[in-house]
């Protein structure tokens, strides 16, 4: 199967900027947080909003810089021997991914702090629900960026989201 690396989803003034094609429901937001953490752990970086597990997602390979489309349902399974055309040789993957994982943080020092506790996730999800009710698209987008944006603390954020989801 050939993967088209030129297709992009245009940014809109709707919450789908961070949840491409998905409503910002509690379940979708938590899935997006976990997905961002998982692909970060595996050496990928999202280049667009989380579209769901069986929809092509624009990502960047953090091993070599390649940008293209991948299904999250394929990425979440682990480290495939073949990442994409032109990537580093497979024997180098583990070493490079290990180096990336060393850069993972347990706290967020981003200019716009991301939630890293279950309580912070709960507060943001509630604020998104309130903003949606009031028609506050800008506020919804801001909060979705906090929940699903790229951050070195992605794994800690996913753990907090899982704790919140279990409530």
- Residues 5-57: tens digit of each pLDDT: 333 333 333 334 577 778 888 888 888 888 888 888 888 888 888 898 889 99
- Number of domain units in the chain: 1
Burial category of 142 from C-beta neighbours within 10 Å (exposed 0-12, middle 13-18, buried 19 and up): middle
Residue 85 lies in a domain: no
pTM for this prediction: 0.74
CB 26 within 8 Å of CB 164: no
Rounded Cα distance, 20 and 17, in Å: 6
Instruction: Characterize the bridge pairing of strands 67-71 and 56-61.
Output: antiparallel
Give me the domain span that covers residue 66: 15-78+90-165
Strand arrangement of the beta sheet that strand 56-61 belongs to: 44-46, 56-61, 67-71
Residue 4 lies in a domain: no
């Amino acid at each position: 199967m050939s993967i088209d690396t030129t297709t992009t989803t245009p940014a809109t003034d709707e919450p789908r900027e961070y949840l491409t094609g998905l409503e910002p429901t509690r379940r979708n937001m938590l899935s997006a947080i976990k997905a961002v953490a998982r692909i970060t752990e595996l050496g990928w970086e999202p280049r667009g909003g989380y579209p769901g597990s069986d929809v092509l997602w624009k990502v960047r390979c953090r091993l070599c810089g390649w940008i293209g489309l991948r299904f999250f349902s394929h990425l979440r399974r682990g480290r495939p021997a073949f990442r994409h055309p032109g990537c580093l040789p497979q024997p180098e993957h583990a070493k490079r991914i290990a180096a990336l994982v060393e850069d993972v943080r347990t706290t967020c020092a981003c200019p716009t702090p991301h939630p890293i506790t279950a309580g912070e996730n709960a507060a943001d999800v509630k604020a998104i629900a309130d903003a949606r009710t009031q028609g506050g698209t800008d506020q919804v987008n801001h909060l979705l960026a906090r929940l699903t944006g790229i951050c070195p603390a992605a794994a800690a954020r996913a753990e907090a989201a899982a704790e919140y989801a279990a409530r």
